[in-house]
Amino acid sequence: MNINVISIFPEILESSFKGLTGKALEKNIAELKLIDLKEFSNNGYGAVDDAPYGGGEGMVIGIEPLEKSLESIKKPGHVICLTPQGSVFNQTKAIELSKLKDLTFICGRYEGIDQRFIENYVDEEISIGDYVLSGGEIAASVVIDAILRNIDDVIGNKDSVNKDSHSEGKLKGHVYTRPSEYKGKKVPEILLSGDHKKVNEWKLANSLWVTREKRPDLFKQLQLSEKEMILLRQYGDFLTKKHE
């Protein structure tokens, strides 16, 4: 996958592309190109913004530097603008975008970017949530990280992606590690039993229970099988009690 990011502050993205994203880049699964919008300024000062027509607060990033920076990319592919006015990003969108070969992200700043650039060049507007950030760079790294997790071979254990929260419309549920008892709090006994069938049933019931407790909106959309309903009933009471 080729990923291009256009930003006034590309250095913000550099530091976030370590860890998982860094691994994808090292393995050549993804190639990342950061484009500094300031290099496409119309004036000698590197400015790419101007006052808004009609007055009002802040500055707006102009269409010309954006257009020139986009034209500098050989294959921009699907062009995404990060904006609080876009559709809210989710796992389904991450999986959908992970199948594309070329992606270009446009990061806004200040009051945003000239609407005519959006209309002429942007395929999709994405928001990472109903709040306002100072710039699109953090939003772009969130979206890119979530996309890369879904590309084959980025994460060694494919199951860890397939069983993650939101991959099947539900949350993953509780996880534990050593010690088996800490300050009187015990790990659920079934997880120590070595009985794989029972452990898997418990994990499924726990995932359903956690989804129902934490995200009733997601739970409502699930179409539970008869087996899942039985497991939820069977383990539900136990899960409500705190482990002592």
Q: Which is nearer to ligand SAM, 5 or 30 (CB)?
A: 5
The residue at minimum Cβ distance from ligand SAM is 108
Instruction: Locate all alpha helices (DSSP H) within 122-157, ordered by sequence.
Output: 136-148
Catalytic residue among 50, 125, 145, 164: 164
Catalytic residue status for 149: yes
Structure tokens at 46: 């590197």
* Contact residues for ligand SAM, defined by CB under 6 A: 82-85, 107-109, 111-112, 127-129, 131-136, 139
- Closest separation in Å from C-beta 142 to ligand SAM: 8
Q: Which is nearer to ligand SAM, 137 or 201 (CB)?
A: 137
Contact indicator for 20, 26 with CB cutoff of 8 Å = no
Catalytic residue status for 201: no
- C-alpha dist (Å) from residue 78 to 120, 123, 170: 13, 6, 29
**Whose CA is closest to 110, among 70, 44, 57?**
57
Q: Which is nearer to ligand SAM, 6 or 231 (CB)?
A: 6
Catalytic residue among 64, 111, 168, 228: 111
- Closest separation in Å from C-beta 68 to ligand SAM: 19
- Number of Cα atoms under 13 Å in the Cβ half of residue 36: 9
How many residues comprise the chain?
Answer: 244
Catalytic residues: 84, 111, 149, 164
